[in-house]
Structure 1
Amino acid sequence: MKIVRCHNGWMIATAAALSALAYPVTCAAAEDGRFQKLSVYLERNVQDHDAEIRFEATGAEEGLAALKVLAPGERTVIDLRTPDSKLGIRSLTLESPEPSDDGIVRADFPAGAYRFEGTTTKGASLRGETRLSHAFPEPAAFEYPRPDQKDIPATALTLRWSVPKGSEACVIVIEQTGTPYEVRALLPGSARSFTVPEGFLRAGKAYKFAIGTVAKDGNRSFIEAGFTTARAR
């Protein structure tokens, strides 16, 4: 999703502003209890009609020297190694390209059980399994600001939206266009508003914002729009 890229890791720092923290909620315990987190989920942008798949794995205290993920039918879709590292990699987030046809993603990554197999730098074996669904949640709807609305106040701005029943969580992303500054938050599915931290918005600037609904299986549907803050007087 275009607005939701450069975002592997949900901890976001903003300049001279409070940070919003959010973490993916799709987790599955490993069969032997050694993987601390496993997830695989789909993410789509409703307006752009594109989609991607994301894999996340967190191992034990020691790093991973190897990680393999097998899709339904025993097809290997990930095979990573760190042969010359003594520490290895403890946590990984991997995502596919974003074709405009989400059918391409679903064809390459079928629904069903995905098996994770890891080897730590100390030689311990990790195994776990989690499931991928192809069902996307219904998207949210903007209430305020409206898409492309201008002269939005740069202070005390509260975003508002509506979401369908049954959403597990909402992801909020706000970017200042043309800069690395952004705010992200992961909110409960019952949330209908979010107040932007004071100091983040600047007068007379363009911003993009996205709202993502998160299903219980972790799949996400994003809508995105832009707004412009009022000039200083």
Structure 2
Amino acid sequence: MVEHGTRLHRESLAVVMALACLAPSGGNALAQSGQFEQLSVYIERNVQDRDAEIRFEVTGASEGLTALTVSGPGERKVVDVKTPDSKLGIRKLTIESPEPADDRIVKADFPAGAYRFEGSTGKGARLRGEARLSHDFPEPAAFEHPRSGQKDVPATDLTLRWSVPKGIESCVIVIEQNGSPYEIRALVPASTKTFAVPKGFLRAGQAYTLAIGTVAKDGNRSFIETDFTTARER
């Protein structure tokens, strides 16, 4: 979600555990029926920093998209993407806004309501769909272990613990080693309250950032962050 040295939602060199949306076998049928495989629009916020961003996630059918537009309430066009010189096009897109330190700015620029998606594929199919944006944020999680700023966290056999409010759909857990390209990002059900860090990821005497995001049924997310440092080798 939010920048903290490096972006917490970075995918490169990541250990990913996700409840993934698997591509259906009928990709061609989706294109023929004019449907996208997946559409979503939601807002992420960092509770402590009070910054926020909007995210659009789009997956076409089996063919690549050569054009995509998204129109918000009042027929205001907010996304207009084209790939004029590509024969393959782009099948999957994630588009995000800047992160002003006031979620009211994001809400003003992207009103709540229906967002209409329209796309064209390289073979001439037209895709249409709709997703709804809410301005309601889920309540954040609460850290239990490790404690904020803890400096003697074991580098082996570390199990994270947290609690979440009622009504949460799922949680995103992100662990990032400061100054390193490596991170762990996991999407887990709301019923999950612990996460065992894979052996070998943590290093002794290193600083880490831990973020947990609560995900509402409408897709909006509220992240909290904390730092901890692993114990030095003896």
TM-score if structure 2 supplies the norm length?
Answer: 0.91
Cross-structure match for 2:7: 5
Contact 1:111-1:133 within 8 A present in 2 as well: yes
Q: Which residue of 1 aligns with 2:149?
A: 148
Show the 5 A alignment for 1:193-212: 193-212=194-213
Distance 2:166 2:187 in 1: 17
> In 1, are the aligned partners of 2:8 and 2:176 still within 8 Å (CA)?
no
- Determine the C-alpha separation between the residues in 1 that align with 2:136 and 2:20: 17
Give the corresponding residue for 2:26.
Answer: none
Deviations 1:31-53 (A, max 9, x none): x5620000000000000000000
Work out whether 1:20 is the aligned partner of 2:27. Answer: no
Please tell me whether residue 229 in structure 1 is matched to residue 230 in structure 2: yes
Aligned pair 1:43/2:44, yes or no? yes
CA distance in 2 between partners of 1:215 and 1:33 (Å): 28
User: Hey, what's the Cα distance between the residues in 2 that align with 1:183 and 1:70?
Assistant: 34
CA contact (8 A) 2:144 2:163 kept: yes
Identity within the alignment, %: 70
Per-residue CA deviation, residues 13-58 of structure 1 (Å, 9 max, x unaligned), is 45xxxx3322578xxx99x562000000000000000000000000
What corresponds to 1:77 in structure 2? 78
Number of the residue aligned with 2:192: 191
Give me the whole-angstrom Cα distance separating, in 2, the residues matched to 1:8 and 1:85: 26
Q: 1:87 to 1:8 in 2, by over 3 A?
A: farther
Please, which runs of 5 or more residues in structure 2 have no aligned partner?
A: 22-29
Indicate the residue corresponding to 2:140 in structure 1: 139
TM-score (norm 1): 0.91
Aligned to 1:112: 113
Matched with 2:221 is: 220
Q: Distance in 1 between matches of 2:8 and 2:191?
A: 27
In 2 relative to 1, CA 146–6 (structure 1 residues): closer, same or farther, beyond 3 Å? Answer: closer
Deviations 1:42-95 (A, max 9, x none): 000000000000000000111000000000110000000000000000000000
The RMSD of aligned alpha carbons is: 1.8
5 Å matches for 1:79-94? Answer: 79-94=80-95
Give yes or no for contact 1:177–1:207 (8 Å, CA) kept in 2. Answer: yes
2:140–2:223 contact (8 Å) kept in structure 1 = yes
Give the Cα–Cα distance (whole angstroms) in 2 for the partners of residues 232 and 8 of structure 1.
Answer: 29
* Structure 1: tracts of 5 or more residues without a match: none
Alpha-carbon contact 2:37-2:60 (below 8 Å) kept: yes
SS in 2 for 1:154: coil
User: Which whole-Å CA distance do the structure 2 matches of 1:5 and 1:92 have between them?
Assistant: 18
- The Cα shift of 1:191 comes to 1.0
CA shift, 1:5, in A, is: 2.2
Whole-angstrom distance in 1 between the partners of 2:7 and 2:202: 20
- Summarize the Cα distance change of 1:6–1:140 in structure 2 as closer, same or farther, 3 Å threshold: closer
Contact 1:8 1:93 in 2 (8 A): no
**Post-superposition offset of 1:2:** 1.5
Distance 2:49 2:86 in 1: 39
Code of the residue aligned with 2:106 in structure 1: it is V
Please give the secondary structure, in 1, of the residue aligned with 2:151. Answer: strand
CA distance in 2, matches of 1:176, 1:39: 30
Contact 1:51–1:105 (CA<8 Å) still a contact in 2? Answer: yes
Q: Given that residues 156 and 199 in structure 2 are in contact (C-alpha distance below 8 angstroms), is that contact kept between their aligned partners in structure 1?
A: yes
CA contact (8 A) 1:66 1:119 kept: yes
